[in-house]
């Protein structure tokens, strides 16, 4: 009887999906944005924060999760959204960085930069998280 209960508990643990970790939107110190404004930036609807030209960056390691959580899109819809923006408005999609370290380095050295990471560096300025 105990073995059956232990087996069921083990099966429940193994088949339960892992909880996704948080994604942190980090920014250069000169950038002030709200959570809603971050969405506007990644949809190509906002290019400035006050008088600061924004430079968003995508993270290859976390983009599917970010696009789903923050923008309510899937990868295909996000790509087609930016294709339309490019043709209609001449906007360019955020450049792709290889991972958290690349995004964090870019944000730290680039005025107006924002990006998202799965683990924020201790010195990073976190705007919001998803």
DSSP string covering 72-111: S--HHHHHHHHHHHHHHH---PPPEESSHHHHHHHHHHST
In this structure, of 11-15, 62-66, 106-110, the range with the lowest mean pLDDT score is 11-15
- Reported pTM: 0.83
Q: What is the reported pLDDT for 20? A: 62
Calculated CA dihedral for residues 83, 50, 64, 61, nearest 10 degrees:
110
- Return mean pLDDT, the chain: 89
129, β-bridge pairs: 24
| Residue 126: both structure tokens together | 């976190």
Percent of the chain with pLDDT over 70: 85
Second CATH level (architecture) for the domain 21-129: 3-Layer(aba) Sandwich (3.40)
18-64 residue pLDDT tens? 456 999 999 999 999 999 999 999 999 999 999 999 999 999 999 99
Angle between helices 75-89 and 63-71 (to 10 degrees): 80
As a dihedral over the C-alpha atoms of residue 124, residue 44, residue 57, residue 28, rounded to 10 degrees, the angle is -30
Cα gap 46→38, rounded to integer Å:
8
The residues spanned by each domain of the chain are 21-129
């Amino acid at each position: 009887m105990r073995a059956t209960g232990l087996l069921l508990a083990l099966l429940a643990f193994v088949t339960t999906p892992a909880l996704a970790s948080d994604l942190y939107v980090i920014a250069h110190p000169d950038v002030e944005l709200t959570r809603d404004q971050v969405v506007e930036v990644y949809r190509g609807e906002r290019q400035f924060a006050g008088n600061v030209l924004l430079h968003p960056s995508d993270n290859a390691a976390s983009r599917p999760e970010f696009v789903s959580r923050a923008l309510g899109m899937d990868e295909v819809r996000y790509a087609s959204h930016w294709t339309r923006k490019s043709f209609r408005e001449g906007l360019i999609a955020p450049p792709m960085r290889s991972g958290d370290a690349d995004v964090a380095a870019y944000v730290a050295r680039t005025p107006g930069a924002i990006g998202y990471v799965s683990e924020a560096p201790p010195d990073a300025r976190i705007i919001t998280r998803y």
